[in-house]
Structure 1
Amino acid sequence: MATADVLWNIPVYVRLQNGAEKSFQSVHDTLDFLENEWPSPRGAYHDAAVISCRKALNRQTSPAVSKELFLAACLEAGLAVRNNMRPGSHHSSPTVHRGL
C-alpha cells in the first residue's frame, strides 16, 4: 500500500545544472528527485534528506525537517534554491544548517 504524499505550504524552486528551474511541492516529488535525478556526487546532506523524506512520508518526522535537509543538500551540491511563493522573485529564504 502506497503512503500518502505530504505537501509543503511553500514550494521549493531549484535551479538545475542545465539551467532549468524545477519546483518541488511535496515530499514524494522531492524524494523521487533525490533518488533518481540527483547530480553526482552525493553528500551527507543528500543522504540525510533521503532518510528524512522517507520518514516524513511515513509520518515519523516533520515534513519541515525533510524540507530543510533538502535545501541543505541542494546548497551542498551547488544548486541554487528559492523557497518562496513568487516564481519571479530571486530572493532566497535563509536555511538553518545543522551538523550531521
Structure 2
Amino acid sequence: MLAIDTLWSKPVTVRLQNGLLHTFHSLEDTIDFLENEWPTRFGNHHRRALDLCRAAQKRYVTSEAAREAFISACLEGCMPLVLTSNPQRRSAAIQLLG
C-alpha cells in the first residue's frame, strides 16, 4: 500500500543549526526529519511533535495540531522559523540569505 503525503495547510520553513533553510511541506517529510535527522537532543516538544504527527497520519488528531507541535519542537531545538507571507517575499529572503 502506498502512503499518500498529507500536505500542511502552510509549509513550515526553519533555519537549521547549520544555517541552511529547510521547508517542510508534508506530514511525512516532517516525521522523517523528526525520526532520522533531528539535530539536537530530544526534548519534550520533540516527543510531542512526533507523537502528534504519527497520530495525524492515522487521523486521530488534525494535521494542524501536529504542525503546531512541530513548530514548538523546532523552537525548542533552536531552529527558528523563517516567516514569509507570500512566495515572492520568500524568494527575496532566500536571495538575501544566499
TM-score, with structure 1 as normaliser: 0.81
CA contact (8 A) 2:5 2:27 kept: yes
More helix by share: 2
State the partner residue of 1:30: 30
State the partner residue of 2:14: 14
Residue segments in structure 1 that go unaligned for 5+ positions in a row: 91-100
Q: What is the count of residue pairs matched by the alignment?
A: 90
Q: Which has the larger radius of gyration?
A: 2
Kindly report which structure 2 residues correspond to 1:1-100, keeping only aligned pairs within 5 A, or say none: 1-84=1-84, 85-86=86-87, 87-88=90-91
Residue segments in structure 2 that go unaligned for 5+ positions in a row: 94-98
CA contact (8 A) 2:55 2:61 kept: yes
TM-score, with structure 2 as normaliser: 0.82
What is the percent sequence identity of the aligned residues? 41
RMSD: 1.7
